[in-house]
Amino acid sequence: MTDSPLEAAKAAFSAAEAGDWQTLLNLLDPDAIEDFKQRQRRWLAMAEAVELLRKQMQQVFAVNTLGEFDAVPAALILRRWLVVSRARVREARRPEYRRQMLGEVHEGMEFAHIVFRESLPADDEKTDRVRVISARRTARGWRVSLGGGLVTDEGGNVGLGYDPGAADPMQGESDFISSM
């Protein structure tokens, strides 16, 4: 159980960077995971009519129809997306990248926002930006949202950068399912 929002955010980012999807999914807010699935479903509803998007549906979520998509639990949908999209992110992560947790701001007893700084030297200058990720207290402890660059940007947008066929979205899934 995570005792603080800051601890939950640190653990979630560490799990994401390590590609430890089981740990990451256990640290995410279940409502945020379900919301992710519903957003992807709306995108896929359009994809059925467009061949290129249909291929992405197969390559990212390992489904051919919306009916198949609907039958997959939300945690597995997000896990498949993470496996495919993060394969390139992990390879591109530079060792000089730094994340410094600056603090947390509570909004009542159930919500908190974690403020952190990302730093990455870019050629001769250093690029810094301050970001925020939110957390919600659940019966299982603090769980973080998908924002702050963990899965989405602060506006809730996802950018899927992947090389078609480079990663199997169902890789390691049987172990994950047995732990659910």
pLDDT per residue over 3-30, tens digit each?
A: 899 999 999 988 988 888 899 999 999 9
Tell me, yes or no, whether 23 lies in a domain. yes
Assign 31 a pLDDT band (cuts: 50, 70, 90). Answer: very high
- Give per-residue pLDDT as tens, 43-58: 777 766 666 677 778 8
Tell me, yes or no, whether 48 lies in a domain. yes
The per-residue pLDDT for 143 is 95
Tell me, yes or no, whether 161 lies in a domain. no
Measure CA 145 to chain center.
9
Q: How far is the CA of 109 from the CAs of 97, 133, 146, in angstroms?
A: 33, 17, 20
Tell me, yes or no, whether 76 lies in a domain. yes
Tell me, yes or no, whether 73 lies in a domain. yes
Residues 6+ apart with CB under 8 A from 130: 102, 115, 116, 117, 118
| Mean pLDDT across the chain | 81
Q: How far is the CA of 77 from the CAs of 16, 63, 81, 98, 100, in angstroms?
A: 16, 10, 6, 29, 30
pTM score, two decimals?
0.77
Give the count of domains, the chain: 1
The per-residue pLDDT for 94 is 62
Our CA angle for 37, 16, 44, nearest 5°, is 20
Tell me, yes or no, whether 98 lies in a domain. yes
The pLDDT of residue 63 is above 70: yes
* CATH at 60: 3.10.450.100
Range of the domain at 71: 5-153+168-179
The pLDDT of residue 91 is above 50: no
Tell me, yes or no, whether 158 lies in a domain. no
Percent of the chain with pLDDT over 90: 34
Tell me, yes or no, whether 47 lies in a domain. yes
Assign 111 a pLDDT band (cuts: 50, 70, 90). Answer: very high
- Give per-residue pLDDT as tens, 132-169: 999 999 999 999 998 887 777 666 666 655 555 666 77
Is the four-CA dihedral 92, 43, 24, 128 of positive or negative sign?
positive
The per-residue pLDDT for 157 is 66
